[in-house]
Chains A and B, each alone.
Chain A
């Protein structure tokens, strides 16, 4: 059976648009609300990235940090995150879910235990921010055995030689970090420049899906349409924070934002 992540890319391609990937933090601002948010965006988004909040996130900007701290403060545990995924899959079985987090959480849970739990709760892919190639070789192999995509990150600083090696060893989906930044930074390079780097990656193996993330908002997403997929994370976390601060319902507001994002890339 094809991984639902690949199915989602195929579907987007037939509609002549990039796949829309969203990132929200599990447990933000509560377990129930984060599940409700996933449900409310699942119609518009093609792939859902679910953040595993960590309290020393070295690659996240302030928006995602705020979301992560909010979730941790409410007491979210890994076990709750698997439950959120399981509950979501009861609601929408075919929608792919990717967990994104830091390696220490997996390391403490035990790699094998973690992957078993991913499998039984319906996780389709993993992004581990601080487990780069080649350190992730063994873990990526374990993921493959479970038919879970291990998604490699690529950056503007990744050398050509390294790019080729990573892509050669990669699973069907990779993630290109648009610029030198933590998540949610202001887009400091032009979409043209980003797409130039993106195309450099695509050329190495056109069959592998490459999504672009970091710094993408409703203002910039339209200009990057030619990519296989686009990830919006911080902008959504920011919307949750804004909604909470103005006593509005984040579930409704995030739903609206994601619909808007989808319309921009149709």
Chain B
């Protein structure tokens, strides 16, 4: 299995949508074949269309707010005493997380295809919140599917979705988290694909959704590349990009523009959710060697039992609480372009404490996983190494959990 240079990774799949011949594809009910094909045709045309790209850029700039900040974490760097520690503050984006890029592009595509309704799934609630914002902006009706367990633990985002006029549909099946929300959303699309567009909230699902999402979030690395050159004059000789990985949309977007660099120069480190330290359950299929299986239309490494039933996951962060992983990351793992590891719930919380103690930055529980590994490794690295962590979400949504686990003093009101 080989990663090709000079071809975008999203376009390296074969004619059936498989990366490396085995990840991804379209394992979908017959009813969805046509709508998926239509979306593929539309996306393949528009991603080469200069007018469409400038429309996208206009919304990214004026509405999403590009570029998001690239900042040095001076106090943390001094405290850790190793590599330089920087952060790409993607949570600056309108709505407070990277999910806005994919949501915006899906709404633009929905408008072009003449659909009046858009449906989407959400775990932490960010994908849903952003889709509700974008749907409102572009005049589309919006339906969000969300696990009942996630609705209970991510209330601030639920309120935001409702305020934006979206209908939030609780999903009570299975583990009542993201995996079930995606299933229910796909079911809704099966029954309504003639009138409704679907937005899959991450780089997962049938191949075209993986591609659209990766294409959208790549805005992050496009910005970062320019910011690094502005700051250092060129891409640093030793650059390490840390990102949390749930479905894998923010990490893919954070890395994409650096794909062709030698990994000795630009290393990618993906941090999965290891779950509670004392629990055997986790959401880290790459780290813990899960087998390939089919989930939500795509072949990927996925937590499952020997019969092929998908296993329940456990993580403090709803956004990473997913048993599978993007086919793109399976591909990056097997081609050895990226390295994957995991952080536990407790480790993520400890990193959150440390970051908020030294910096005026409040990463949500998802990027706190990446911060933990980055800070641990930065200690052992030389000071000419540039460590960048994607702070892809803001902790506002995690108030309830943070107050419960760490006490009131770690929760600031917005």
Contact = CB atoms under 8 A, between A and B. Distances in A.
Given A58-B190, A130-B28, A182-B187, A157 B293 contact: no
Interface in B1-27: 16, 25-27
A131 B27 contact: yes
Given A56-B179, A58-B187, A182-B190, A130 B33 contact: no
A72 B295 CA distance: 17
B30 A153 contact: yes
Interface of A: 54-61, 65, 69, 72, 77-78, 102-109, 129-135, 153-159, 162, 177, 180-182, 185
Contact of A108 (B31, B180, B191, B291): B291
Nearest to B205: A58
A57 B183 contact: yes
A261 to B, nearest CB: 24
Interface string B139-183: 000000000000000000000000000000000011000011001
B26 A132 contact: yes
B266 interface: no
A135 B173 contact: no
A56 B306 contact: no
Interface string B288-319: 00011111110000001011111000000000
B407 interface: no
B342 to A, nearest CB: 23
Contacts of A131: 27
B273 to A, nearest CB: 19
Contact of B27 (A103, A109, A177): A103
Contact of A56 (B25, B29, B174, B292): B174
Contacts of A182: 187, 190-191
A130 B294 contact: yes
B47 interface: no
B186 interface: yes
Given A59-B190, A182-B190, A109 B308 contact: yes
B304 A157 contact: no
A180 B193 CA distance: 8
Nearest to B175: A55
A188 B366 CA distance: 42
B34 interface: yes
B81 interface: no
B294 A104 contact: yes
Given A104-B294, A130-B28, A181-B190, A58 B308 contact: no
- Scoring A54, A55, A162 by chain B CB atoms within 10 A of each residue's CB, the highest score goes to A55
How many interface residues does chain B have, given as a range?
Answer: 35 or more
Contact of A78 (B28, B179, B194, B307): B307
B35 interface: yes
Contacts of B297: 58, 130
Nearest to A72: B309
| Secondary structure of the A contact surface, majority rule | loop
Contact of A157 (B187, B193, B294): B193
B14 to A, nearest CB: 12
A9 to B, nearest CB: 21
A105 B28 CA distance: 15
Given A58-B297, A108-B307, A109-B308, A132 B187 contact: no
A155 B191 CA distance: 11
Contacts of A162: 33-34
Contacts of B187: 58-61, 182
28 contacts: A57-B183, A58-B28, A58-B187, A59-B31, A59-B190, A69-B173, A78-B307, A78-B308, A102-B294, A103-B27, A103-B294, A104-B295, A104-B304, A107-B308, A108-B291, A130-B28, A130-B29, A132-B29, A132-B33, A134-B16, A135-B16, A135-B27, A155-B33, A158-B30, A159-B34, A180-B31, A180-B191, A182-B191
B29 A129 contact: yes
B356 interface: no
B191 A107 contact: no
B192 interface: yes
A56 B310 contact: yes
A127 to B, nearest CB: 11
A240 to B, nearest CB: 17
A58 B183 contact: yes
Contacts of B295: 56, 104
Contact of B174 (A58, A69, A177): A69
Contact of A180 (B33, B190, B307): B190
A105 B192 CA distance: 27
Contacts of A55: 174, 309-310
Contacts of A109: 307-308
A108 B193 contact: no
A105 B292 CA distance: 12
A159 B37 CA distance: 11
Given A56-B180, A58-B183, A158-B34, 4 more contacts: A58-B187, A104-B293, A132-B30, A180-B31
Nearest to B299: A107
Contacts of B27: 103, 130-131, 135
A158 B33 contact: yes
A109 B180 CA distance: 24
Interface string B372-391: 00000000000000000000
Contacts of B190: 58-59, 180-182
Contact of B173 (A65, A130, A185): A65
Contacts of B306: 108
A138 B173 CA distance: 33
Contacts of A153: 29-30
A157 B31 CA distance: 6
B60 to A, nearest CB: 32
A181 B191 contact: yes
Nearest to A101: B308
A60 B293 CA distance: 19
B304 A185 contact: no
A157 B191 contact: no
Contacts of A59: 29, 31, 187, 190
Contacts of B34: 155, 157-159, 162
